[in-house]
Amino acid sequence: MYMGITHDFRFTHVHVHINLLGWMALGLAGLLYAVFPHLEVGWLAPAHYWLHTLGVVIFMGGFAWRSATGQDAFVPVALGSTMAALGVLVFAFNVFTRLRVPRVPQGTA
């Protein structure tokens, strides 16, 4: 509401990315972890959480810094976005390797 009331839209991209990467993506992951608890077993779920969460925080910090100061923020944006992307890849690997439907041999069903 603040951006709309003040017509100060410098942080719009930060707001959008926090909602998409922070809230929506982690909310969807949490839903899948709740529905399929076996996805949480092992190191993949914590790796996903920490890479994604810390990556988004660093990424958005860089975005906000650049918007507020006009200075280059390539390092935090590149580092944070890479970490978040790796977190998403770890999550995708976890889901696609553990939610496979077992094949039923022909003639047994």
Is residue 104, in this structure, part of any structural domain at all? no
If one counts the domains in the chain, the total is 1
Containing structural domain, residue 59: 12-98
What is the residue-wise DSSP string for 29-51?
HHHHHHH-GGGGSSSHHHHHHHH
Distance CA 85, CA 39 (A): 19
The pTM assigned to this predicted structure is: 0.79
Is residue 64, in this structure, part of any structural domain at all? yes
Is residue 39, in this structure, part of any structural domain at all? yes
pLDDT at 109 (0 to 100): 58
Is residue 107, in this structure, part of any structural domain at all? no
Is residue 103, in this structure, part of any structural domain at all? no
Distance CA 89, CA 84 (A): 9
* Res 14 pLDDT > 80: no
Range 26-33 average pLDDT? 95
HSE-CB for 109 with a 13 A CA cutoff: 5
* Res 10 pLDDT > 90: no
Is residue 4, in this structure, part of any structural domain at all? no
Is residue 7, in this structure, part of any structural domain at all? no
Give the pLDDT band of residue 101 (cuts 50, 70, 90).
Answer: low
* Higher per-residue confidence, 20 vs 64: 64
pLDDT at 100 (0 to 100): 79
Any idea what the Cα angle at residue 89 is, between residues 26 and 54, rounded to 5°?
50
Is residue 105, in this structure, part of any structural domain at all? no
pLDDT above 70 covers a percentage of the chain that reads: 88
pLDDT at 8 (0 to 100): 67
Task: Count the residues in the chain.
Answer: 109
